[in-house]
Structure 1
Amino acid sequence: MPKLFEDPGVDEFRGLNLRDLRIDEAWMVITSNLLNPSWLYVLSDDCDQCAFKLMSYVGSEANNSVKMETKHGWTLRFRDDNSSTYVPQLTDNNNTVCQLHVTMGEFGVYDVMLNPSDGDRADCSFSTAKEPVDIYAPLLACFLFYVVLAFLWIGFKAVLRRGYLDGCLYALKIKKRQKNTSNPVDQNENLGGSTVAAKEEEKITPKKSSRLKSLDTFRGISIVIMIFVNDGAGQYFFFEHATWNGLQVADLVFPWFMWIMGVCMPISLRSSLRRKESKLTIFAGILRRSCLLFFLGIMNNSLGGNIELSRLRIPGVLQRFAITYLVVGTAGLLLTPVDLSAPHQSSKARKMFQDIVVLWPQWIFFLLLVAAHCFITFFLPVEEECPVGYLGPAGLHLDNKYPGHCIGGAAGYIDRLILSVQHIYNYPTTIQVYESGPYDPEGILGSMLCTFQVFMGAQAGMTLLIFSDWKSRIVRWLAWSVLTGAVGTLLCLATQNDGWIPVNKNLWSLSYVMVTTCFAFFLLGVCFFLIDVRKWWTGAPFFYPGMNGIFMYLGHQGAYNLFPWHWENGSMNTHFEKLAEALWGVSLWVAVAAWLYHKKIFLAL
């Protein structure tokens, strides 16, 4: 039965079974016309400064077929010697027969020809025997589906507001008829003004909440993307985490979630102080919530039956929330003045930067924390075989120069020293590409800069408290966006791997903090303008999961292999099938969040 998307058209091509290929795989057929055998060494574009790795024997005058991953391009090096499993990039050219760079597509078939040339060299050619499938068509189809769905929903709500469906709703008993018990005379008398009863009703009507929907919408966007990514995201590589350095869609979610928590912290602290709560009571609440988050994180790490105490992972997402909430919350409690307003005799410049001035003690504290992090990262002595100040993934990196346990430099060393290898994450994103050792992306050293990122969120929240004018808020957020973006760009030199401090989610590097904070300030400004200022958007559907963030996170983690959020249908061997399953799960969680919102059920710690 032909598939709707990504159908190769035939099951077999030139004796190759196309159904044996998985997502993002292709057949590469190597035909050698050389007199002597050779060996294929490969290097993925995703592996920075790596050594070539032996992949396959290439027989003389024979067809050799190999499966190749198609997410990234490859450099193919054919050698007449296989004495080493790994070959450095810049050396050992004497045994190289030929070398070429290729890119391939899913379910395609490609030919590589090796023909004799002068001396010991050969001419290599690459050609497409069968065109790959289009993996981006499912993305477009799903995007258009949700666009149409959104317009239909908007139209349905408009029809509902105008009362065109009231008859049907009455008949189905979904909506009750309102009895008109008012006196017609009273109605006529009240056409020009309000009655005493109306005034009394106005007095007892609860004041409309001043809660900014843009904050919950921002949080909801982060949660929805997080669920989508954790559900597989259709196995599109650009939706996944970057292997080491770099920034992809999945790398934005966690820092945004942390940052928006920081935005809400000064607002929450202000509310507690206005309720005349003592600082000791507030600190007890901060400590209680931090401990509860940390405990829930440990529980979350045991999902899937990992309950062996000797190997239970200690760091994690919620654990990092707990640590940063405790540090930033305590700093805010102790160092934020009660009176946030500027003195009457203050200069115009002082008033302009009042949201920064009131936080100056915290700025000093967190900048010292950043300085301490940088000092430890670049100057802490680690194991003998690992260099000081190393920021790489080790393994195959730098032509297989350092052993796999050197991954992350000081960050990895501290985790292994304090927590031990048994209690950290053993399957980092680098394990397949770089063949690195265990490394925990939520480790101890990265938490230091994570607290700084949460504090940057608190700075955005303080802007909300100090300035009531929407223009003042947006201008400041955009200014922070430009500033943090510029600092992040300078640190990484606008490159993936060649900057002073590359953008790296695993390390939670300073450039990563700055770049993701840049996007966070900008996105909040856009949401605030569209939702709370112009009211062009209600924030739906992201607003609903944003109102129940902790429930959404724990729920989707606990239901990671439960129907109806997840299902399988046959081999599920295309991006489209994986994408449909992921979007179904996300949509179902959004529907659950909307139901909880309308039932006024909210999980708070």
Structure 2
Amino acid sequence: MKSNAIRTGKKERLLSLDALRGFDMFWITGGSMLAVFFAEVTGFDWLSNQMHHVEWAGLRMYDLIFPLFMFISGVAIPYALISKLEKNVPQKTLLAKVTKRMVTLVVLGVIYNGALQGNLTNIRFASVLGQIGLAYFFAAVIVIYTKSFASRLYWLAGMLVGYAFIQLFVPVPGFGAGVLTPEGCINGYIDRLFLPGRLHGKVFDPEGLLCIISAAGITLMGSVAGHFLREQSRTPWQKITILSGIGAGLLVLGLALHPVYPIIKSAWTTSFNLAAGGISFLLMAFFYLIIDVLKWRKWSFYFRVIGMNSIFVYLFVRFIDVSTLTGFLFGWSPELLGDFGQLIWIVGYLGIIWSVLYYMYRKQIFLRV
């Protein structure tokens, strides 16, 4: 299947978006192993710690991967949907398209969780793919059925403030209001009441029902970035300034709220959304500057190949035992060469994955849902 290119007014692909998506996926498809290796060799423990999720409250690099992906999917919304609305494509046609995408991702998410392996009484219905599909759906519906950019900003502000109000002021039986712990947060309470099947966190699920609203918020943030990137009335440098300014402001606000309203990825607190969204704006501005404005592109090809098949590679590393294949080809290297051999093994692992993606890239095969 050929993908629909995301293009600027000059009919040139927005390469920075593919590169940033690939950069994001790189870390969960082997990149974190490479970072941990260098951290262990150099004794740079900080980097190793950043490659693991924080236990509950706080923020590490690894916590940014999922919200950044949500943000990037939102950046594409003005190109994928608003452009069609401007061409008088019926709203119901676009609604059918995003509904199909949502259903497909929810089903794939349940399969990813192992629904086909048996034990049908203990399926985990919430999933990363499901949250991507649902959050994108709600953000897309807002964009499709609002007539102005300002209206979308009102929706975004309402979602962020409303979500914070629910978490801080709606009481949970036995705990009260504003108890942001796995057991006491309103997210977990709603999941225990209404979410069937197994919960990832036993008493809550980080991809649970209430989290979908917050994830839709950061997707809508991405659509704001996409709006400015798509504007023809602004120069590239004005776009970079706007994205950077918004990103810095959101990050500062999120960090400022942290002492009283903690940054918690698993509960998708509004403070987390602000901080993660701010960093996402800054990364989008940086990649756009380097790749699409200054046109320093050769270095980004590796990431663009990953980014153009992001959903496929996420499923690929789940269903294909790349470690066993890597061990078959490079298992000798750690034993004979020590640390350098371990590096060869990791690079081989990354190389196998990228080779598959590069083959698909050359054949113009892109999994789009």
Same fold, TM-score > 0.5, yes or no: yes
2:177 is aligned with 1:417: no
Identify the structure with bigger relative contact order (alpha carbons < 8 Å, sequence gap 6+): 2
Structure 2: unaligned runs, 5 residues or longer = 1-8, 38-47
2:365 is aligned with 1:601: yes
Separation (CA, whole Å) in 1 of partners of 2:273 and 2:80 = 24
Mapping for residues 118-267 of structure 1, pairs under 5 Å = 209-228=11-30, 234=36, 236-267=48-79
Q: Secondary structure at the match of 1:258?
A: helix
Cα 1:448–1:577, aligned 2, differ >3 Å: closer, same or farther? farther
Cα 1:306–1:234, aligned 2, differ >3 Å: closer, same or farther? farther
Per the normalisation by structure 2, the TM-score is: 0.85
Partner letter of residue 220 of structure 1?
A: G
Cα 1:576–1:490, aligned 2, differ >3 Å: closer, same or farther? farther
Mapping for residues 1-400 of structure 1, pairs under 5 Å = 209-228=11-30, 234=36, 236-302=48-114, 306-335=117-146, 337=147, 358-384=148-174, 386-393=175-182
Separation (CA, whole Å) in 1 of partners of 2:78 and 2:368 = 17
Q: Shift of the alpha carbon at 1:231?
A: 6.6
Cα 1:388–1:274, aligned 2, differ >3 Å: closer, same or farther? closer
Separation (CA, whole Å) in 2 of partners of 1:553 and 1:391 = 30
Partner letter of residue 198 of structure 2?
A: H
Separation (CA, whole Å) in 2 of partners of 1:519 and 1:559 = 32
Q: Secondary structure at the match of 1:541?
A: helix
Q: Shift of the alpha carbon at 1:293?
A: 0.9
Whether the 8 Å CA contact 2:156–2:221 is kept in 1: the answer is: no
Q: Shift of the alpha carbon at 1:383?
A: 3.4
Q: Shift of the alpha carbon at 1:473?
A: 0.7
Partner of 1:7: none
Separation (CA, whole Å) in 2 of partners of 1:312 and 1:230 = 28
Q: Shift of the alpha carbon at 1:227?
A: 1.4
Whether the 8 Å CA contact 1:229–1:250 is kept in 2: the answer is: no
Per the normalisation by structure 1, the TM-score is: 0.53
Mapping for residues 508-587 of structure 1, pairs under 5 Å = 508-538=268-298, 539-560=300-321, 563-565=324-326, 569=331, 581-587=345-351
Structure with the greater alpha carbon radius of gyration: 1
**For residues 302-348 of structure 1, what are the alpha-carbon distances to aligned partners after superposition, in whole Å with 9 as ceiling and x for unaligned?**
17x6432211001110111111111011110010x3xxxxxxxxxxx
Separation (CA, whole Å) in 1 of partners of 2:91 and 2:222 = 22
Cα 1:469–1:511, aligned 2, differ >3 Å: closer, same or farther? same
Separation (CA, whole Å) in 2 of partners of 1:322 and 1:232 = 30
Whether the 8 Å CA contact 1:218–1:527 is kept in 2: the answer is: yes
Q: Secondary structure at the match of 1:423?
A: coil
Q: Shift of the alpha carbon at 1:562?
A: 5.6
Separation (CA, whole Å) in 1 of partners of 2:340 and 2:123 = 35
Match of residue 456, structure 1, among 210, 216, 221: 221
Cα 1:230–1:418, aligned 2, differ >3 Å: closer, same or farther? farther
Partner letter of residue 423 of structure 1?
A: R
Q: Shift of the alpha carbon at 1:488?
A: 0.8
Q: Secondary structure at the match of 1:261?
A: helix
Partner letter of residue 172 of structure 2?
A: V
Match of residue 505, structure 1, among 265, 287, 299: 265
Separation (CA, whole Å) in 2 of partners of 1:595 and 1:208 = 28
Partner letter of residue 28 of structure 2?
A: M
Partner letter of residue 288 of structure 2?
A: F
Give the structure with the higher percent helix: 2
Q: Shift of the alpha carbon at 1:262?
A: 0.2
Cα 1:243–1:459, aligned 2, differ >3 Å: closer, same or farther? same
Partner of 1:476: 242
Whether the 8 Å CA contact 1:229–1:239 is kept in 2: the answer is: no
Partner letter of residue 219 of structure 2?
A: V
Partner of 2:44: none
Separation (CA, whole Å) in 2 of partners of 1:544 and 1:481 = 26
CA RMSD of aligned residues (A): 2.7
Structure 1: unaligned runs, 5 residues or longer = 1-206, 338-357, 394-405, 429-436, 493-498
Separation (CA, whole Å) in 1 of partners of 2:34 and 2:124 = 22
Cα 1:565–1:260, aligned 2, differ >3 Å: closer, same or farther? farther
Q: Secondary structure at the match of 2:152?
A: helix
Identity of aligned residues (%): 27
